[in-house]
Amino acid sequence: MRSAWVRDPRGVTVIGGGAVASEDLDGALAVAPLLVAADGGADRAHDLGRAPDWVIGDLDSISDAARARVPGGRLLEVAEQDSTDFAKCLGRIDAPLIMAVGFAGLRLDHTLAALTALVQPEAPRVVMLASEDVILACPARIDLPLPAGTRVSLFPMGPARGTSRGLEWPIDGIEMTPGGRVGTSNRALGPVSLRIEGPMLLMLPRDCLGVVLGALGR
């Protein structure tokens, strides 16, 4: 990973070119107020009335109009084609939390690539907002004060296992893999505690964002 180009001790919101509701962007910025656009995400930000503080990517998608509105010196080109613009952003941001919007809901290949970026070994702490879900790489330990009946989905992005308290269907002793056992559509019986080994995505309903942020110490 290269040295970070963008630093903020509060948090950074990264916006992509996918579907973004204005309330999602506003909610993300309330938690992580510095706005970084992943290439063409700059156009999406302007469509929502927000000017990105920085733009990072290979710059093959940003429009001329959006490019002209980027503050001087804050258009950061990463020319290599071995990673997505989202991954380029994650590798060049130093912040305690990254909120990600606009990376789910349009092209499935882009969504899959963004989800894969979340579980890379050197990935920072990222919380992704989708239309129905809050998504994050599950930490090794997390305690979630969830109401009974809340949907809790666990999806392995490689070999993974764990233990749980508070799930209707416990995951203890289950070896999970993307092509084998997965843990989608589980349900909380009340507060949930997870202990996870391996790359695992945790997906909760959108109204659980506050619970997630609280569990992460935000």
142-183 tens-digit pLDDT: 999 999 999 999 999 999 999 999 999 999 999 999 999 999
- What b/e readout covers 112-149, taking b as 16+ CB neighbours within 10 angstroms? ebbbbbbbbeebbbbbbbbeebbbbbbeeebebebeee
215, containing H or E segment: helix 209-215
| Cβ atoms within 10 Å, residue 108 | 9
Question: Mapping DSSP to helix (H, G, I), strand (E, B) and coil, where does residue 114 land?
Answer: helix
Q: What angle do CA 5, 111, 207 make, to 5 degrees?
A: 90
How many Cα atoms are found within 13 Å in the side-chain-facing hemisphere of 29?
19
Q: What pLDDT is attached to residue 184? A: 95
- Least confident piece of the model among 76-80, 99-103, 118-122, 159-163: 76-80
Q: Which option is the CATH number for 141-215: 3.40.50.10330, 3.20.20.140, 1.10.8.620, 2.60.120.320?
A: 2.60.120.320
Give the pLDDT band of residue 3 (cuts 50, 70, 90). low
Percent of the chain at pLDDT exceeding 70? 98
All structural domains of the chain with their residue ranges = 6-131, 141-215
Pick the CATH number of 6-131 from 3.40.190.10, 3.40.50.10240, 3.40.50.1000, 3.30.565.10: 3.40.50.10240
